[in-house]
Amino acid sequence: MIKSSFKMAFASVASNKLRSFLTMLGIIIGVVALVVLLSITNSATSTITDTISSISTNNITVTITDDKDKPLSLSDLDDIASLKNVAAVAPSAVSSGNIRNGSDTETIKLTGTTADYQSINGVELASGRFIRSADVDNHTNVAVINADTAIDILGCYNTSQAIGQSITIDGIPYTVIGVVKQSDNKVLSQASYEAYIPFTSLERLSTTVRDVTSFVIAPKSDAVSDLAQQEINSYLLSRFSNDSDAFTVVNMKVIADTLSKVTGVMSLMLGGIAAISLLVGGIGIMNIMLVSVTERTKEIGIRKAIGATEGSIMLQFLIESLVLCLIGAGIGLGISALIIAGINAFTDYTFWLDARVCVVASIFSIGIGLIFGFYPARKAARKDPIEALHYAG
Amino acid sequence: MDDNKMILLSDVSKIYHIGDDTVKALDHAKMYVDKGEFVSVIGPSGSGKSTLMNIVGCLDTATSGQYFLDGQEVADYSRNELARIRNRKIGFIFQDFNLLQKLSAYENVELPLIYQGLSPSKRKEQVEDALNAIGLWDRRDHRPNELSGGQKQRVAIARALATHPSLFLADEPTGNLDQKTGGMLLDIFHRLNEEGNTILLITHDPNVAKEASRSVKILDGHVSEAKDMSEIEEVV
Ligand SMILES: Nc1ncnc2c1ncn2[C@@H]1O[C@H](COP(=O)(O)OP(=O)(O)OP(=O)(O)O)[C@@H](O)[C@H]1O
Ligand SMILES: [Mg+2]
């Protein structure tokens, strides 16, 4: 019975191809909108979150903008490090210097810091070691350079060859003790030449770096990130006469959370818009099904006369609208795959067809077929057999 | 209750209300058809023939009175139960054939069997038998618009035949056909009747009515026995 109904439904859909296609168009467009938009946002979201987690562990960055003549020193950072939910603190003083590359002079980005910086910001080394406490205590002129610097300035394609070599920054020779692993993310390291040197060494080298005005903090765990932020806040408030404008505290975890909330809302919104277009497609289906029921009044009458129950007439029309929606959804999924493949082929982005979105779109289409097919199907089933039989249309 | 009656109408009335008017399409109709009988109903236009056919065919229910089909009273049945009776006990043959245009002859004949829920192999067997019986098996893949009027009506008869109904109910089956084709069709009815089938044939044509073994006349909703040929002829 069901099998015959499906056969009849396919025959009926196939018997008027243009109209069936126009009817499906709403569903096709709705499915394409849903699948393409959500696949793109989902792809983008996971790319963004991957990028964020690759930038840093969930650290907290503090910048002092007004030190009220009570500047922080390295020993003050030890106080902050001893706060209950804080694991480690390291200064992050940024400056720049000149290095020679053959006959040219290049600028190098210098970050003056201490040993804990490596673990707080998750700096990965390709070779050598990071700055140690002894280097900071002794104002040692050592540098951890990035791969570009090792390659361009020292000509060392194999990073381990750079260890022990000397580079001259602003006329002062620095011994290379480590090379940072090349980041996958080119966008995130704009400066092509970078080096980490002991904070105390930078204080001597630079004319501007005197006190600690910027530092990074690792909370004991991600879970206490908020608590750590509060502790730091109250420490700084008491230090800077309760002036909350004297400093800024940026918690990467909060930023990441906010960002994922934003993308979540965005995919919800786009999904909603696409779902509405699918719904409009459903109304199109209902419209055509109603026309079809009226046109086929005579057929319904004949079927009833030879013994079709209301249930079997209902089933026939429901299956027909279901078949319309399923074929529409199938075509929509195919077009979506083509569009995504097209975007990937002609742009630098890599998006992928989200399997969950495809399943949701299919289920949604089936639901629409059933919901919007229900009323026309019931109308067909309820027709009076005698009137239907004598319908001249 | 007489076991031998296929149809028994007892004081069946059908009253239509149109505004303040009431039309008695059937007025206390009494009639019967025995099993294996070939009975014709003759009456002029508007006399209530189609109304009678709708009630006998379980497409409609009477306003009052009792109707027994094959010994069972058709009353207070739900729409689904009526559909079931139409499907299994009645074989309709209409004036305008009422075949589904999109289906082949084979599929048209198969349709009521699908509604009976028969297995595909059983359906094939019954469709083949029915189409062979009216000599159209080799036209099974033709659609109605590829068939002549007479052939269409034979397919319609096959559709009724395939379900092995208790009663063949034909409303002006020859009305749209020329005399020769109509005669051929009546031969089929005779043959079906000889094979033991019960047939109720509705017509306004005395020559067609005469083909039956017994005739019933209907005038303004009143049903009565037609004793002889002259009575048949003066009805219309
Ligand atoms: N649905 C209806 N509503 C109101 N009146 C009706 C309805 N159906 C039939 N009638 C009336 O009942 C009477 C009998 O109609 P019926 O269709 O049974 O006649 P008939 O004998 O079949 O005529 P014909 O030979 O022209 O088909 C007519 O007066 C008709 O107007
Ligand atoms: Mg009539």
Whether residues A178 and A308 fall in one domain: no
B45 C-beta closer than 6 A to ligand 1: yes
Whether residues A74 and A24 fall in one domain: no
Residue A186 clears pLDDT 60, i.e. is over it: no
Number of structural domains chain A divides into? 2
Measured by CA distance, the residue closest to atom 12 of ligand 1 is: B25
Average pLDDT per block of 10 residues along chain B, 236 residues long: 84 92 93 95 92 93 92 86 94 93 94 94 95 93 94 95 95 90 92 94 91 93 84 76
Query: Tens digits of per-residue pLDDT, B144-167?
Result: 999 999 999 999 999 999 999 999
Beta bridge partners of B69: B7, B72
Residue A197: give the domain boundaries: 65-244
Q: Does B100 touch chain A (CB under 8 A)?
A: yes
pLDDT of residue B14: 95
pLDDT of residue A187: 46
Is the Cβ pair A307, B100 closer than 8 Å?
A: no
Nearest to A307 among B83, B94, B99 (CB): B83
Q: Is the dihedral of CA A33, A369, A319, A361 positive or negative?
A: positive
Nearest to B87 among A299, A306, A310 (CB): A306
Whether residues A198 and A275 fall in one domain: no
Whether residues A362 and A258 fall in one domain: yes
Nearest to A305 among B84, B86, B88 (CB): B86
The residue whose CB lies within 8 Å of the most ligand 1 atoms, and thus the one to mutate among B23, B61, B95, is B23
Q: How many CB pairs under 8 A join A and B?
A: 61
Q: Does A309 touch chain B (CB under 8 A)?
A: yes
Provide, rounded to the nearest whole percent, the portion of chain A with pLDDT above 70: 96
Q: Does B224 touch chain A (CB under 8 A)?
A: no
Residue A188 clears pLDDT 70, i.e. is over it: no
Contacts of B129 (CB under 8 A, 6+ apart): B162
Q: What HEC string does chain B produce?
A: CCCCEEEEEEEEEEEEEECCEEEEEEEEEEEEEECCCEEEEECCCCCCHHHHHHHHCCCCCCCEEEEEECCEECCCCCHHHHHHHHHHHEEEECCCCCCCCCCCHHHHHHHHHHHHCCCHHHHHHHHHHHHHHCCCHHHCCCCHHHCCHHHHHHHHHHHHHHCCCCEEEEECCCCCCCHHHHHHHHHHHHHHHHCCCEEEEEECCHHHHCCCCEEEEEECCEEEEECCHHHHHHHC
Which of A339, A358, A357, A359 is CA-nearest to residue A349?
A339
The domain boundary, picked from A188, A215, A244, lies at A244
Whether residues A138 and A284 fall in one domain: no
B51 C-beta closer than 6 A to ligand 1: yes
Whether residues A45 and A179 fall in one domain: no
Whether residues A289 and A360 fall in one domain: yes
The domain boundary, picked from A244, A270, A305, lies at A244
Nearest ligand to the C-alpha of residue A386? 1
Whether residues A110 and A200 fall in one domain: yes
Nearest CA in chain A to B97: A302
Whether residues A170 and A314 fall in one domain: no
Whether residues A11 and A52 fall in one domain: yes
Whether residues A326 and A270 fall in one domain: yes
The domain boundary, picked from A213, A244, A275, lies at A244
- Considering only A79-83, A324-328, A370-374, B62-66, which range has the smallest mean pLDDT? A79-83
What's the predicted TM-score (pTM) here?
A: 0.75
Whether residues A315 and A377 fall in one domain: yes
